[in-house]
Homo-oligomer: A and B are copies of this chain.
C-alpha cells in the first residue's frame, strides 16, 4: 500500500544519510556551532545573495514558527493569517501559547492579499484591541497554491506601509519555488521578507528547518530564544549536515522538482479522466474531486486523506507527492482512476 498522505512518510534522501554517515565520528562543537552548520548557512546566504541575514537551524516547523513569532512580537502584538494557515489550525494553538493572538482572515485560495490585511489593520484602532504586527503567510499554502513575485511585492509594500512584519512559513518552500509558473527565488525572499524559513523535513531531510532573519532589528540575541524554547540541539550538526547535503549540489531543488513533476503527472492523469479539482495547485499537493465510490476503491491500494465532502457523491481528496515517489506508482494510480466504472 503506497501512501500519498504526505511528503514525510519516508526517511531522508540517501545523500543526506550518506553525509551523516561520513561525518559521524568527527568531533564537533555542539548547539549549531559546528562547521557543517556554518557551511550550510554559508551556502544558503549565497543563494539568498545576502551576507547580512542571520540563519538558524531549528528542528521543526511549528517550533520555528513559535520561536520566531514570539521573539519578534511584544506582548500586545498579534499575527494576521489566512483562516487556513497552519499556525491557526494545525499547531495546537502554539502561537497563542506564547501569548499572542492570531487574527484569521477568510481567503478563497489560501493566499492573503493586501486588501484583507488593511481591513484588519483598520479594524484595530486602540488599546482595547490587540495590535496587528506580523503577517504570516505560507508558500506553498495549505491547499497547494503558490505566491507570485508580484503578489509578494504587493504584500511586502503593504506591510512596510503599515509597520507590519512580513513572515513566510516555508515548510514546503522547495515545492513552491520549483512549481510551474513560479517566478520567485531565494533572493526575492531575502529582499522582501522580514523573516522566512526554508523547510527541510518535507523535502528530503529527516528533520530541520532553516530560519532566515533578514531584518536587522529582529536578529538580536535570537539564540537565547532558540534555547529557551528547547530547540537548540546538543548535536546541532544533525541539521547542519542535512542542509549541507541538500544544498551543496542543489539536491534540494532537484527533489522538489521531482515531487512537483509527479504531482503534475498525477493531476494531468486525473484531469484527463474527466475530474476537476478543489483548488488550483501547481505544487506537490493536489486536491482532485472524485466519486466516493472511486475513493473507496483507491483506498484499497493507496493511503491518502479525504479532505472535504463536496456533495452526496463526491469528495475532494488530498494527494501529496514527495521526492521519493516513483513514476510507476503515479501511473498505476492514474490507471486505477481511469479504469473506474461508476
The interface of chain A, by Cβ under 8 A from chain B, is 2-3, 6, 8-12, 14, 17, 20-21, 23-30, 59-67, 70-71, 74-76, 78, 89-94, 96-102, 104, 127-131, 201-202, 206-207, 221, 223-235, 237-238, 324
Taking A8-B234, A17-B20, A127-B223 as contacts, is the C-beta distance between A96 and B100 under 8 angstroms?
A: yes
Q: Are A9 and B30 in contact (CB under 8 A)?
A: yes
| Chain B: minimal CB distance from A284 (Å) | 15
A11 to B17, CA, bound (A): 12
Residues of B within 8 A of A75 (CB): 70-71, 97, 224-225, 228
Taking A228-B76, A230-B94, A230-B231 as contacts, is the C-beta distance between A10 and B30 under 8 angstroms?
A: no
A28 to B91, CA, bound (A): 21
The A interface, classified by DSSP as helix, strand, loop or mixed, is loop
Q: Are A25 and B10 in contact (CB under 8 A)?
A: yes
Q: Are A229 and B228 in contact (CB under 8 A)?
A: no
A10 to B233, CA, bound (A): 13
Residues of B within 8 A of A92 (CB): 76, 127-130, 224, 227-228
Residues of B within 8 A of A230 (CB): 59-67, 91, 94, 229, 231
| Chain B: minimal CB distance from A309 (Å) | 13
Residues of B within 8 A of A28 (CB): 9
Give A99's nearest chain B residue, CB to CB. Answer: B97
Residues of B within 8 A of A129 (CB): 89-90, 92-93
Question: Could you jot down 5 A-B contacts, CB within 8 Å?
Answer: A17-B24, A92-B224, A97-B100, A97-B228, A131-B221
Q: Are B30 and A11 in contact (CB under 8 A)?
A: no
Residues of B within 8 A of A61 (CB): 230, 234
Residues of B within 8 A of A26 (CB): 10-11
Residues of B within 8 A of A201 (CB): 233-235
Q: Are B74 and A228 in contact (CB under 8 A)?
A: no
Give A18's nearest chain B residue, CB to CB. Answer: B21
A185 to B196, CA, bound (A): 46
Residues of B within 8 A of A97 (CB): 75-76, 99-100, 228-229
Q: Are A128 and B227 in contact (CB under 8 A)?
A: yes
A90 to B20, CA, bound (A): 28
Q: Are A96 and B94 in contact (CB under 8 A)?
A: no
Residues of B within 8 A of A231 (CB): 60, 63, 230
Taking A17-B20, A91-B227 as contacts, is the C-beta distance between A206 and B238 under 8 angstroms?
A: yes
The 9 closest A-B pairs by CB, nearest first: A63-B230, A76-B224, A11-B24, A9-B27, A93-B101, A92-B228, A93-B130, A62-B230, A127-B223
Q: Could you say which of B11, B78, B207 contacts A233, with CB atoms under 8 Å apart?
A: B207
A221 to B17, CA, bound (A): 34
Q: Are A131 and B24 in contact (CB under 8 A)?
A: no
A171 to B20, CA, bound (A): 23
| Chain B: minimal CB distance from A80 (Å) | 13
Residues of B within 8 A of A324 (CB): 25
